[in-house]
């Protein structure tokens, strides 16, 4: 007759998440888990083969929490792509240790091609492509370049180098996409945008982001309908 346990696998993983929230990913050990559950280590290994299996299941559980943040943002009525970037950074703010577990761990021994997050990336690329008319390859490059910036802000917050400031983060995400998008629009629309494009890129190069944003808004006010979907998606 199989042994009866005081807790099940799900409860054990919940305990693992709580340990990591308090002490970081490195704090999850058989001893700390047993202490959290109020038992010896024996019941743990009656439910899991070893601590590596516990760690992998804890990562999956943390990923489900992260996906709730991203999933809610993806259904935002306004600026869904920007909302997803904001949600990623908010996750790093509210769940710092789980963020580190998911996005700041050493992955040199892992097969990145098997990353379960690929489906999230594909959904984001399709969202950009649908709203902008860009092909998926170009939409992916926009997402990649933007997400490097998003991840940088999130990492600085998760490591307590920077504090969450919603207005600052919102403006920063708008600013980081300006050079890329303006290059794309200038190529699509031709020389008719060259004057405004030059003014904005000059302001960006001089780190005058407030000036760049002002030039951007002026250009947007005089733009044709082709700008509408971009601004609804991002700004």
- pLDDT at site 183: 65
Give the chain's residues under pLDDT 50.
1-2, 191-195, 197, 200, 203-205, 207, 209, 222-228, 235
Q: How far is CA 176 from CA 24, 60, 82, 147, 207, in A?
A: 30, 31, 11, 10, 11
Q: Which residues contact 210 (CB under 8 A, 6 or more apart)?
A: none
* pTM score: 0.78
Q: Which of 51, 76, 65, 78 is nearest to 14 (CA)?
A: 65
pLDDT in tens, 202-223: 544 454 545 555 555 555 554 4
What are the DSSP calls for the chain, one per residue?
-PPP-SS-HHHHHHHHHHHHHHH-GGG--HHHHHHHHTS-STTHHHHSSSHHHHHHHHHHHHHHHHHHHHHHHHT-SS-HHHHHHHHHHHHHHHSHHHHHHHHSS--TTS-GGG-TTHHHHHHHHHHHHHHH---HHHHHHHHHHHHHHHHHHHHHHHTTSS---HHHHHHHHHHHHHHHHHHHHHHHHGGGGHHHHHHHHHHHHTT-HHHHHHHHHHHHHT--GGGHHHHHHH-
CA distance 41 to 195: 69
Which residues, including other chains, have CB under 8 Å from residue 188's CB and lie 6 or more apart?
226
Distance separating alpha carbons of residues 116 and 59, to the nearest angstrom: 11
Separation CA 180–CA 8 (nearest Å): 50
- Distance between CA 72 and CA 175 in Å, rounded? 24
**What is the model's pLDDT at position 75?**
78
* Crossing angle (nearest 10°) for helices 194-205 and 166-189: 140
């Amino acid at each position: 007759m199989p042994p009866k346990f005081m807790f099940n696998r799900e409860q054990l993983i919940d305990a693992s998440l709580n340990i990591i929230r308090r002490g970081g990913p490195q704090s999850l050990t058989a001893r700390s888990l047993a202490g959290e559950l109020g038992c010896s280590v024996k019941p743990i290994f009656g439910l899991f083969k070893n601590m590596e299996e516990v760690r992998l299941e804890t990562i999956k559980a943390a990923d489900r929490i992260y996906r709730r943040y991203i999933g809610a943002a993806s259904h935002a009525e306004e600026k869904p792509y920007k909302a997803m970037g904001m949600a990623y950074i908010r996750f790093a703010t509210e769940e710092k240790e789980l963020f580190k577990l998911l996005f700041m761990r050493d992955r040199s021994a892992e097969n990145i091609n098997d990353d379960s997050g690929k489906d999230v990336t594909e959904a984001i690329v399709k969202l950009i492509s649908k709203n902008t008319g860009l092909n998926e390859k170009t939409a992916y490059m926009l997402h990649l370049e933007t997400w490097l910036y998003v991840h940088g802000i999130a990492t600085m917050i998760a490591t307590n180098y920077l504090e969450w400031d919603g207005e600052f983060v919102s403006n920063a995400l708008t600013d980081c996409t300006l050079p890329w998008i303006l290059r794309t629009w200038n190529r699509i629309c031709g020389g008719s945008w060259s004057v405004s494009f030059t003014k904005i890129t000059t302001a960006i190069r001089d780190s005058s982001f407030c000036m760049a944003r002002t030039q951007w808004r002026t250009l947007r006010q005089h733009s044709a309908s082709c700008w509408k979907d971009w601004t609804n998606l991002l700004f």
